[in-house]
Amino acid sequence: MNLTVIDHPLTSHYLTVLRDEATQPEEFRSAARRLTYTLVMEATKQVPLLERPVTTPLETTTGYRMPDMVAIAVLRAGLGLLDAVIDMIPHVKVGFAGVQRDEETIQPIEYYFKTADLSDAHVLILEPMLATGGSLSWAVEKAKENGAGSITALCVVAAPAGVQAMYDRHPDVRVVAASLDRDLNDASYIRPGLGDMGDRLFGTL
C-alpha cells in the first residue's frame, strides 16, 4: 500500500473548514467537494493515458484521453466526494458500496454493493474516513472480486491504524489522503478528525 498525503494550500484550507465543528452542512458539503478536486488531481496522476491524434487548426499532433474509470462511493460518507469526481471525470461509471460498522465489534456489515464490471477500469474508491480500515478493506475486496486490478482510495482523513490495515491486507492499493491524523478514540473515531462525516454532510447529528 502506498500512501500519499497531499501537501497543497487549498487542501489544507478546505480540510480546516471540514474540521471546524461550527461548519454547517451546506458549507461542509461545498468544502468537501472543493477538497475532493485536489484529491482527484493526485489520485489520477499515475493513470496511464491512451494516445489519440488530435487536429488543431494548424496541424495534427499527439493527443491523449483518459482510460475507463469507475468510482465506488462507500455509503454514506463517500457520497460527499462523488460530485467532484463526476465533475472532473464525466465519463466515470459509478458504483455504490453499502457498509455500516457494528458499533460493538467495529466490524463492517455489508448491506448493498452494485458496480459495473471493473476488469479493465481504473477504480477510485471514495471512503473519506480511513479509521480502522475495516470498510475500505471490505470495499477493496468486493472491487477485486468484481475484477478490479488498479485501485486508488480517496480519503479525506486517514488514521495510522487504517493505513496499517491497508498495508497488511492490500499492499497493492494506493491511498490518497488530505491528512494523516494522530489516532483513534475508544469509539474508533479519528482524532483530531472531523467527527462523523456522514452526519456532518447530511445534517443527521
Q: How far apart are CA 92 and CA 123, in angstroms?
A: 9
Give yes or no for residue 15 binding ligand URA (CB under 6 A): no
Give yes or no for residue 189 binding ligand URA (CB under 6 A): yes
Give yes or no for residue 74 binding ligand URA (CB under 6 A): no
Residue 103's Cα: distance from chain center in Å?
A: 22
In the bound state with ligand URA, the residue whose beta carbon lies nearer, of 97 and 129, is 129
Give the dihedral sign, CA 188/194/197/200.
positive
Shortest distance in whole angstroms from residue 200 CB to ligand URA:
8
Which residue shows C-alpha cell 496522476?
45
In the bound state with ligand URA, the residue whose beta carbon lies nearer, of 108 and 198, is 198
Shortest distance in whole angstroms from residue 191 CB to ligand URA:
8
Looking at 7-15, 38-46, 141-149, 188-196, which segment touches ligand URA (CB under 6 A)?
188-196
Give me the active site residues, please: 101, 105, 196, 199
Shortest distance in whole angstroms from residue 78 CB to ligand URA:
11
Shortest distance in whole angstroms from residue 80 CB to ligand URA:
10
In 136-182, the DSSP E strands lie at 150-158, 174-180
188 three-state secondary structure = coil
Give yes or no for residue 202 binding ligand URA (CB under 6 A): no
Give yes or no for residue 98 binding ligand URA (CB under 6 A): no
Shortest distance in whole angstroms from residue 2 CB to ligand URA:
22
Give yes or no for residue 40 binding ligand URA (CB under 6 A): no
In the bound state with ligand URA, the residue whose beta carbon lies nearer, of 89 and 129, is 129
Query: Long-range contact list for 197-203, CB < 8 A, 24+ apart?
Result: 197/77, 197/80, 197/128, 197/129, 197/156, 198/76, 198/77, 200/18, 200/23, 200/25, 200/28, 201/25, 201/28, 201/29, 201/32, 201/76, 201/77, 201/79, 201/80, 202/25, 202/76, 203/24, 203/25
Give yes or no for residue 126 binding ligand URA (CB under 6 A): no
Query: Long-range contact list for 57-61, CB < 8 A, 24+ apart?
Result: none
Q: Tell which positions 127-186 bind ligand URA, by CB under 6 A.
A: 129, 131
Q: Which positions touch ligand URA (CB under 6 A)?
A: 77, 129, 131, 189-190, 193, 196-198
